[in-house]
Chain A
């Protein structure tokens, strides 16, 4: 086998050997060569050191709420239906609540200025009596007024 260090392509086979990606015959050829080639042996030792150093780097564990956060983002990304869009508008439920309260207050509160149904009839039945009474009163006042003046016009005895 030619020295792998001599060409770029052969260097790749050394990398593949380090990574354990060569099949058995190819790996055997590299091993055989390395026994007699100090340069390749050093290359392999260094590459193996890099490989092991990288292997020692273990990342941290993933957050336990990873999926929950993801599914929340997915839900937020979903286009809302027209009904949802309508219901999710913040002022609409507020307005609906106000309308309900106003309607219930209007239905259950008695009106202070309301006139009873029979009040008009009662007023109509009372009115002639009042008029009649008023006329009587006027007649009586007139008679009272006439009485003193007639006495005043009576000649005084000398």
Chain B
């Protein structure tokens, strides 16, 4: 069985499981909410971080997403995948944040050297100073290239690349057609190829 088929089946099973958990939250089961939080906390916050490129802001937005999920529990209806609903809220908040110009501080940070994940490794496993510098420069270049994308293209690329979402799911999250998503992605990758192809 091809890998993508397995992934699709996994996603389908996940749909039922997460929606079921959310329905239990609706019935007042806070433990189910904790399970959903544990499952999506990291991926959602990472998505938001790559959108806004500011860790404290990403965590605040992520908390706002989960808070809204909790507040909406009584009116929740499993009309879509839980993850689609979750990322739709997250994308909406991130796009609003970017649109409202709250990203000035975040954009300023693009000029700074940011301590990202790999640089926090333990000393025993840490790469050499030179490797770390090269890696940091590369990551910084990627961050700048992604930040330069229009917000909707950025969201589409992040969901396609890091969340491994299908076109149909991205379309639901961004409230557009699948063909519009493909167009967004194609233009975004075209821009990124121009800026990042030399890194091969």
Which A residues are within 8 Å of any B CB, using their own CB?
Answer: 8, 11-12, 15, 19-24, 45-63, 66-67, 69-70, 73-74, 77
* Selected contact of A23 from candidates B2, B49, B157, CB within 8 Å: B2
Q: For the complex, what is the distance from the CA of A80 to the CA of B41, rounded to whole Å?
A: 27
- At the interface with chain A, which of B9-17, B98-106, B138-146, B168-176? B138-146
Interface of A is mostly: helix
Known: A12-B182, A23-B2, A67-B37. A54 touches B200 (CB 8 A): no
Contact B197 A49 (CB under 8 A): yes
Does B192 have its Cβ within 8 Å of any Cβ on chain A? yes
Which B residues are within 8 Å of any A CB, using their own CB?
Answer: 2-5, 37, 41-42, 45-46, 49-50, 55, 58-59, 62-63, 66-67, 70-71, 115-118, 120, 135, 138-139, 141-143, 145-146, 157, 160-162, 182-183, 185-186, 189, 192-193, 196-200
Known: A11-B186, A66-B41, A69-B63. A50 touches B192 (CB 8 A): yes
Interface of B is mostly: helix
Closest-CB distance, B32 to chain A (whole angstroms):
14
Contact B116 A60 (CB under 8 A): yes
Contact A48 B182 (CB under 8 A): no
* Selected contact of A70 from candidates B5, B37, B46, CB within 8 Å: B37
Contact B3 A20 (CB under 8 A): yes
Which residues in A have their C-beta under 8 angstroms from that of B198? 49
Q: For the complex, what is the distance from the CA of A24 to the CA of B2, rounded to whole Å?
A: 7
